[in-house]
Structure 1
Amino acid sequence: MIILTIPISFQLGGLDCGLAFTVTLFVGYSILTLIRLCFRKSVLAQLVYSSQHLFIPSLLTLFISIYSGRDQDILVNDQTFALFLKFAVGPWRVLLYNATPVFTLLEGVCTILAIQSIGKTFGWLRRTKSEIWVIISLLISGGILTTSLWFLYRIYSFDVVISSLSSSLIGVVLTISTFLGLAGIISKKGSTIESSLLFAYIVRCIYETFPELSSLASDEIWGLISMGTAQIREEIHKNDYIIPIGYILFNEKNRINLSKVFTNLTLNAPSSFQTILEFIVASSKTITPTILLNLAFRVSVFYAATRIIPTLASYTYTTSSTQQKSNTLKYLYAFAPCMVIAIYTHLMMQYSNELDSELCIWGWWEPNAELRMIVNPWLFWNWVNMFTTLGLYCAELLSEGEAVRLEESEIEGWKGQ
């Protein structure tokens, strides 16, 4: 429901409507989660938490009606709503406007953790299970690397203007990532799967640095997926892989005409079901593939980090402290919808060009400074993220090899969580 309603609030009501709606969702989910945690065994608390899906469409309708002009008096004259705008929407706006470095750099750190854990898991499988995992790892690495190189080639095929400075930086990060990948493989502190994933993440970051590239690539991927599913459906229908239900229901021995039954059910069904279906279809059309893919990636790497970090910490802390950290992570998982709302809203603002387009990185301490360096914040923090990610991986390779690698028991503990 969150995935469907947030884009509608921004597209129909504008930026202010989207911010008011999302901060209400954020606060509402926080309160419902607290109730659920405090009264964990209460059936009533679980029922109240589950009733969120009934209130979200009503809240969406309320805010759209307020910001679309139909209930303009509430927006202008209502003192309670004015306080809501001042103490809730205002801080929420400031938080999201300044959240770009936090979300971007945190994504890079979590991705490095996920890449290393995947590489170490394949190493553990190779050592304890079978050498066939070496071949599987090479095949997967080759597929990832080929796909990354293809998307890298597509950068020069798209009709997108890239400045000379950005082109130089692209060459630098690709050279560094290639060198680090080869160094990790040769020194045996890394692996082919880690190197290919690192290179793929850098290519992905290059696309994210330029929203036009990201949108074109996402639309292309979406088109390939749609084409593939259409071909599969056509092949299934052509070769009769699935027995038609009509053959089962209307065979020669028992020819029961159920058309009248289905007709009566359709006619007597509430007309609201049609409205709900139309709402879902219209909502799905407002979801941009680029935003959806980025949301899925960020949520996935953040979740993976919460599963990996306790495994690393469990060999440093005592049993009691480990149990305390496990309880903390349970609370963190409970508030996961709030994090999804914040990330989703920030991505909506970014791809709607609602975030600041200028960031002063030199001369900001003097209002009248003659020399001021102003950059695009989205581009700047994405470049910082790429170099930071490569720096972290380089530091990992320079550290002692086996001391920083997960042992077999650690991998088993991570899988058992």
Structure 2
Amino acid sequence: MGPHHISFLRLSALELCLTIYEKVSALAGGSSTFPDVLFVYVLDNDHDGSLSAAAPGVPFHVLSSHYTLRGSSVVSRVPADFMPTRASLLWSALTSTAKLSNFLQIILFLPLTLSTLSKHAFLLLSLLIFLASLVHGTLQLLWGSVLLPVMQLPTQVFLLLVCFNVFSQTVNPLLLSVAEWWGTILTLSSPIFIVFESMSSLLVAQKLGQVGRELVSEGEAYQFGLLIAAAVAYVTSAWWIVISYPAAAMSPLSSTLLGVALTAFIFLTLIGFGLRRTNVIESSGLALFIAYNVWLCGFDQQSFSDPASSYAPLLPNILPHLQTLINFVTNTLPKPVLIALIYRLAILLGAAQILPTIGADSWETEYGVDDGWDGRPTSKLTRILLTYRQCILVTVYSHLLLLDHSSQVWWRWMNIFFTLVIWSVELLVSGEDDTINKDWKVE
């Protein structure tokens, strides 16, 4: 028999053994002939949808347990620390809570340091958290233990206390130089972040358009629903731009840039429809992207002002007044920066999930399925991005906090125009889609 692919949701060890046995038995048709190669897709959060491959008699690693396919049976060698289902659920909840706590600590501690201490303290803490995240990602890549999120939990608190202790007295000039060096790197990285965000946004919009084209072939109900969704997206983006216009176009140059961007978008959409190389799903997604960037350009300087200037000290009020702490947190976290952070991280991770699916058929045709998806360059890149996603979080967040309002605005305009340029090139060089979807593109 040839190679076969089997997909699983997240299962316990015993459930996975039984399911593999049933699937393989069904493939063999009750005989002793089994697939030459068995590809097992394990969809779980800990391994980020990674692909494990197993040939008969070859062990493969799934959910921290080893399994071997031997003839007509699947043998499980359960490790000594394997826990029952209830304990596994509790442990999963604990690790998920630890991951969320680590994320929230980064979100809170960086602006807290920037507002209460100084820019150099903020840069030093950002660098320390980045290095700690780099070590954590490397251990996750090499070791892969579920204990790592829990072990990392006190790290950010310790680093925050270190920064407060260092800047409570005369600071070593070497530390200041290191902080300045890190700040320079973050500032010079602005074009890289803009390119990544633009290309990721375009990639996600095109993926949505591709999924929409596939759903259209399923029936008219899908086509009608997608047309309504696209219309809602167009109307929402237009409304978003209208309410953002007074603040975003305060100067003649800004209003001119907005007009040029909207005109270019409309013409590119019409050209794409005429060439049958885009559809309303992709176009409406890019319309929302433009509206989002225009909206961020509309925040005034007060949105980025120093929150510590209008707030009483935190430490004397933290214990007797919980409401004071809540007010401090809400005033410390810069809302525009948080929105930009959430969007940028979501779009980067979304693009990382899409990259392995690009050119999958051509890869399997050229290299054969025996190599597996793990051997594909895009799959390796995705694994690296997802493993070091906390490092990406720290650098992206620090970069957004470091930029002033004027820099934010101009980088947003560059983001819009770079995306439109890339989209125009893609429309010109891409081939015409299949005939099944041609009617969908012009309706």
- 8 Å CA contact 1:8–1:286 kept in 2: the answer is yes
Cα pair distance change 1:273/1:155, threshold 3 Å = closer
- Report how many residues are paired: 313
The one-letter amino acid paired with 1:382 is: R
TM-score by length of 1: 0.67
Deviation at 1:213, TM superposition (A): 9.1
Q: Residues of 2 paired with 1:291 and 1:214: CA distance?
A: 13
> Is residue 2:417 matched to residue 1:390?
no
2:196 aligned with 1:106: yes
Label 1:404 to 1:391 Cα distance change in 2 as closer, same or farther (>3 A): farther
Residues 155-174 of structure 1: CA deviation (Å, up to 9, x unaligned): 3444x662212211211110
1:313 & 1:50 partners in 2: Cα distance?
Answer: 37
Within the candidate set 149, 158, 166, 1:66 is matched to 166
Alignment deviations for residues 173-228 of structure 1 (CA, whole Å, 9 cap, x no partner): 10110121233234332111211121221222223345429959xxxxxxxxxxxx
Q: For residues 380 and 165 of structure 1, what CA distance do their matches in structure 2 show?
A: 11
**Does 1:348 find its partner at 2:401?**
yes
Greater share of helix residues, 1 or 2?
1
Equivalent in the alignment of 1:263: none
Equivalent of 1:123 in 210, 213, 234: 213
Tell me if the contact between 2:137 and 2:388 (Cα under 8 Å) persists in the aligned partners.
yes
Aligned with residue 256 of structure 2, among 137, 161, 168 = 168
Deviation at residue 65 of structure 1 after TM alignment: 4.0
Cα pair 1:141 1:193 within 8 Å, conserved:
yes
2:385 is aligned with what amino acid?
Answer: L
Structure 1 alignment gaps of length 5 or more:
77-81, 217-271, 354-375, 408-417
Aligned residues of 2:198 and 2:419 also touching (Cα < 8 A): yes
1:217-236 map, 5 Å? none
What letter is aligned with 2:349? Answer: Y
* Matching residue's letter, 2:384: Y
Give the CA deviation at 1:297: 0.7
Change (3 A) 1:171 1:33: same
Deviates more, 1:98-107 or 1:327-336: 327-336
In 2: Cα distance, 1:174 partner to 1:3 partner: 34
Aligned position for 2:335: 289
Q: SS of the residue aligned with 1:51?
A: helix
SS at match of 2:153: helix
In the other structure, the counterpart of 2:272 is: 184
Question: In the alignment, is residue 146 of structure 1 matched against residue 235 of structure 2?
Answer: yes
Maintained 8 Å contact 2:126/2:394: yes
Pick from 51, 56, 64: which aligns with 2:151?
51
Structure 1 pair 298/156, CA: closer, same or farther in 2 (3 Å)? closer
Q: For residues 278-322 of structure 1, give each alpha carbon's deviation from its aligned partner in whole angstroms, at most 9, with x where no partner exists.
A: 767743442122111111110111111112222114344435384
- What is the TM-score of this pair, normalised by structure 2? 0.63
Relative distance call for 1:377 and 1:287 in structure 2 (3 A) is: closer
Match of 2:126 in 1: 22
The answer as to whether partners of 2:374 and 2:380 remain within 8 angstroms in 1 is yes
Query: Is the Cα–Cα contact under 8 Å of residues 275 and 432 in structure 2 kept in the other structure?
Result: no
The CA deviation string for residues 318-363 of structure 1, in whole angstroms up to 9 with x for no partner, is 3538423324422321110000110001111125x5xxxxxxxxxx
Three-state SS of the structure 1 residue aligned to 2:250 is coil
- Higher relative CO (CA 8 A, sep ≥ 6), structure 1 or 2? 1
Question: Superposition pairs for residues 207-356 of structure 1, below 5 Å?
Answer: 207-212=295-300, 282-317=328-363, 318=367, 319=369, 320=371, 322-324=373-375, 325=377, 326-351=379-404
State the one-letter code of the partner of 1:323: D
1:26: how far off? 0.3
1:348-387 maps to which residues of 2 (within 5 A)? 348-351=401-404, 378-387=408-417
Task: Output one character per residue of 1:101-147: Cα deviation in whole Å (capped at 9) or x when no partner.
Answer: 111122111111110000110110111x2221222212211222112
CA distance in 1 between counterparts of 2:184 and 2:434 reads 39
Structure with a larger share of its residues in strand: 2
2:227–2:280 Cα contact (<8 Å) kept: yes
CA separation of 1:316 and 1:14: change in aligned 2, threshold 3 A? farther
Distance 1:90 1:123, change over 3 A: same
Looking at structure 2, the residues matched to 22 and 63 of structure 1 have their Cα atoms a distance apart, in angstroms, of 10
When structure 1 is superposed on structure 2, of 190-199 and 322-331 the one drifting more is 322-331
| CA distance 1:328–1:111, shift in 2 (3 Å) | closer
- % identical equivalent positions: 24
**Matches of 1:105 and 1:24, distance apart in 2:** 26
Q: Distance in 2 between matches of 1:18 and 1:193?
A: 41
Give the Cα–Cα distance (whole angstroms) in 1 for the partners of residues 282 and 410 of structure 2. 26
CA RMSD of aligned residues (A): 3.2
**3-state SS of the aligned residue for 1:72?**
coil
Matched, 1:133 2:222: yes
Instruction: Judge conservation of contact 1:4–1:280 (CA < 8 Å) in 2.
Output: no
